[in-house]
Amino acid sequence: MRNIANIAVLVSGGGTNLQALIDAQNKGLLHSGKIELVISNRLDAYALTRATAADIATAVVPKAACSGQEEFETRIMRLLDDAQIDLIVLAGFMAILSERFTNAYPRRIINVHPSLIPSFCGKGFYGLHVHEAALARGVKVTGATVHFVNEIPDGGEIIMQKAVAVKKNDTPQSLQSRVMRLAEWKILPAAVEQVCAAMVSGRGAVTADQEGEEPK
Ligand code: GAR
């Protein structure tokens, strides 16, 4: 294993979580891994502009340009192999990945989800919909989760979570931005560092006593 893990970040949209990772890298909070590649399934993703501004290589694989799911994933896998990627971070990546893909990278794919899993997760729960559902249910506390990705949507082992209070007058948008600011942008870089540190030290996985560690 290398002494710094090569990271690829998969994105589809604004890329504020990617930005949090870039900022963490610049501040030295993320030092056991380096973002080597950003892959988007959308040409218009602002995340690509953020990556280019940070001098990170980018690639775009639009699903519509592929013959189907298999070619879409094969093209992404080829990019990951060429860049010798150790850890894949899904940061607002809004395309489905099949079992064939997730099985190819056991405990090497992590995702940030904008709720406290197992609430408001799985099929249909993504982006703003998650916060709409949380408000509709009337929960008083929500948050974000970083977890390993396996074949079950949002079903992989939880690495880190952070709770955020729901306010009386919250809209889905106000709740989304507070969950991002107070939870996602903190736990994603902390979890990526934790997983990369375990990988480069040869432990390869997060150990029980590291789980639940407070993000800095
Ligand atoms: C984030 O809130 C992320 O947790 C969510 O999409 C947003 C992407 O924002 N992801 C999911 O809902 C995945 N199920 P960003 O592009 O600004 O990082």
74 within domain boundaries: yes
User: CA 56, 216, 186: angle at the middle one, nearest 5?
Assistant: 55
Domain count, the chain: 1
Question: What b/e sequence results for 173-212 when a residue is b if at least 16 CB atoms lie within 10 Å of its CB, and e otherwise?
Answer: eebbebbbebbbbbbbbbbbbbbbbbbbeeeeebeeebee
> Residue 156 has which token pair?
């992989």
What lies within 8 Å, CB to CB, of 155 at 6+ separation is 122
| Share above pLDDT 70 across residues of the chain, in percent, rounded to a whole number | 94
Compute CA 26 distance to the chain's CA centroid, rounded to the nearest angstrom: 18
Reported pTM: 0.94
70 within domain boundaries: yes
Domain limits for position 10: 5-211
CATH number of the domain enclosing 34 = 3.40.50.170
Whether ligand 1 lies within 6 angstroms of the CB of 14 is answered as: yes
Whether ligand 1 lies within 6 angstroms of the CB of 145 is answered as: no
How do residues 175-193 score in pLDDT, each as one tens digit? 999 999 999 999 999 999 9
| Ligand 1 atom at minimum distance from 130 CA | 12
122 within domain boundaries: yes
216 within domain boundaries: no
How do residues 18-70 score in pLDDT, each as one tens digit? 999 999 999 999 999 999 999 999 999 999 999 999 999 999 999 999 999 99
Task: Determine the residue of 176, 184, 186, 192 to mutate for testing ligand 1's pocket, defined as the one with the most ligand atoms within 8 A of the Cβ atom.
Answer: 184
Alpha carbon distance 53, 66 (integer Å): 28
Per the annotation, the verdict on 147 as an active-site residue is no
* 1 CA → ligand 1 middle, Å: 30
